[in-house]
């Protein structure tokens, strides 16, 4: 959700300021561009050098950039630059000044210049957090559209046990992402996505597999999450990675993928079968490595379970989406698969198209609906292709 976003982290003078370093790491890992503003008192708890090194941008604390040359830090431009402002930790003092509209620091002046969502993560002692003035200030900021990350219960700097601990960095990240997903078209829906190849063992060393990297399936899972869905990703062996916001289940064989998917299937709103599942597996698997010998080697193969066919035969209200990768007679084969397996629509792509198929960062697809209506798309990045597929799912829903 934060990939490519400009995030302005505002750090105030709290003992919890050390946690801002962990917040920056998570933001950077999410793909955000991070800039940091610190109040003067925040420097007593963590250094600008630390936060500047982690964010890869100079830390700002004052309006004046170079006194001798008359150069200033433009708080207006910074407020416009930000897609998100996160005040963490936010002290009672800063919260009060934000509520009153004061602008006696670079941080506050930037806040007043912002045109983006603002998230406030309070951190203070129990009595300060419980005080009526703090409660009123937070309520007022919330009424103005700011989002408040509720602090945790636990041991505070004073030794008192109670509310006021800064929410953990991962909790803050989850709060921001959930707010960003609110109102998206797939909120409340559950989507199962499969990705990658399957490996069918011949012996303890060798297997039958295919060239799928899982890139397309992982991109679909990411976009489905961004559109609000709860996503389960069942993936064969792949080097692709995805964050904890998506539930990932790793399998190896077609049988493992079949058993996993059919157990999840009944609770799903939609299923997108992007995995390249083996159609055949060796009938028997040797206990020891097969030795090279003179002459040819024959291996008997047995059909694997057809996951899509099972789902098509047993679906209720679920939207079922399949993939067809072909090298010849592609459209006709895809249409046959659509009807035979009772799919709602199918995504067709051809290995003969430059830039499409396995290993590429791009793909070129045609979506075929039940009425055999074709929607052709240009060559795009797999992330953009995933958006086209998810948008079509939203249309069906």
pLDDT digits (tens, 9 = 90+) for 222-264: 999 999 999 999 999 999 999 888 999 999 999 999 999 999 9
Estimate the share of the chain in helix, then strand, then coil, as percent rounded to the nearest 5: 35, 25, 40
Span 138-149, pLDDT tens digits: 999 999 999 999
Check residue 67 and give its pLDDT: 53
Strands, E assignment, 294-356: 301-303, 319-326, 345-350
* 60-66: average pLDDT: 73
Check residue 136 and give its pLDDT: 97
Q: Is 391 a catalytic residue?
A: no
| Segments in 34-119 forming alpha helices (H) | 48-55, 75-81, 92-100, 106-113
Lowest mean pLDDT, pick from 16-25, 209-218, 267-276, 345-354 = 345-354
Span 73-107, pLDDT tens digits: 778 889 899 999 999 999 999 999 999 999 999 99
Dist CA 316 CA 343 (whole Å): 12
Check residue 372 and give its pLDDT: 86
Helix crossing, 20-29 with 169-181: angle to 10°?
50
**pLDDT of 275 strictly over 80:** yes
Catalytic pick among 74, 210, 339, 395:
210
Check residue 69 and give its pLDDT: 60
**How many CB atoms sit inside 10 A of residue 301's CB?**
13
**Mean model confidence pLDDT for the chain:** 93
Dist CA 215 CA 360 (whole Å): 8
**pLDDT of 314 strictly over 80:** yes
Phi/psi at 155 (5° precision): -75, 130
Domains, the chain, in order of start with CATH, read: 6-181 (3.40.50.1950), 190-286+297-396 (3.40.50.10300)
Q: How confident is the model at residue 326 (pLDDT cuts 50, 70, 90)?
A: confident
- Which residue did the predictor score with more confidence, 356 or 126? 126
**pLDDT of 31 strictly over 70:** yes
């Amino acid at each position: 959700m934060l990939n490519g976003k400009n995030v302005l982290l505002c750090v105030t003078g709290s003992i919890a300021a050390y946690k801002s370093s962990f917040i920056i790491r998570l933001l950077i890992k999410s793909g955000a561009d991070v800039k940091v503003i610190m109040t003067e008192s925040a420097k007593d708890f963590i250094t600008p050098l630390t936060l500047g090194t982690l964010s890869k941008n100079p830390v700002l604390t004052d309006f004046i950039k170079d006194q001798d040359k008359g150069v200033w830090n433009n708080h207006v431009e910074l407020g416009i630059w930000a897609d998100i402002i996160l005040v963490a930790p936010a002290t009672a003092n800063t919260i009060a000044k934000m509520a009153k509209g004061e602008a006696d620091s670079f941080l506050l002046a930037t806040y007043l210049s912002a045109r983006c969502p603002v998230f406030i993560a309070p951190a203070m002692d129990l009595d300060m957090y419980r005080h009526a003035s703090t409660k009123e200030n937070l309520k007022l900021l919330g009424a103005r559209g700011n989002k408040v990350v509720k602090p945790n219960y636990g041991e505070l700097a004073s030794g008192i046990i109670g509310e006021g601990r800064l929410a953990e960095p991962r909790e803050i990240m989850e709060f921001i992402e959930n707010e960003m997903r609110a109102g998206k078209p797939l909120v409340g829906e559950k989507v199962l996505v499969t990705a990658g190849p399957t490996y069918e063992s011949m012996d303890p060393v060798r297997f039958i597999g295919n060239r799928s990297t899982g890139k397309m399936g992982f991109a679909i899972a990411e976009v489905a999450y961004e559109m609000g869905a709860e996503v389960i990703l069942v993936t064969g062996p792949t080097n692709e990675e995805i964050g904890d916001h998506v539930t990932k289940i790793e399998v190896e064989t077609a049988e493992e993928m079949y058993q996993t998917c059919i157990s999840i299937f009944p609770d799903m709103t939609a299923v997108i079968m992007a995995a390249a599942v083996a159609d055949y597996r060796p009938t028997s698997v040797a206990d020891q490595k097969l030795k090279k010998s003179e002459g040819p080697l024959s291996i008997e193969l047995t059909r694997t379970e057809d996951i899509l066919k099972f789902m098509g035969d047993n679906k209720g209200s679920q939207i079922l989406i399949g993939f067809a990768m072909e090298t010849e007679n592609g459209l006709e084969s895809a249409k046959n698969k659509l009807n035979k397996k009772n799919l709602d629509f199918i995504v067709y792509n051809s290995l003969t198209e430059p830039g499409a198929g396995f290993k590429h960062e791009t793909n070129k697809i045609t979506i075929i609906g039940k009425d055999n209506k074709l929607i052709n798309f240009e060559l795009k990045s797999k992330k953009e292709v995933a958006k086209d597929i998810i948008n079509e799912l939203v249309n069906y829903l």
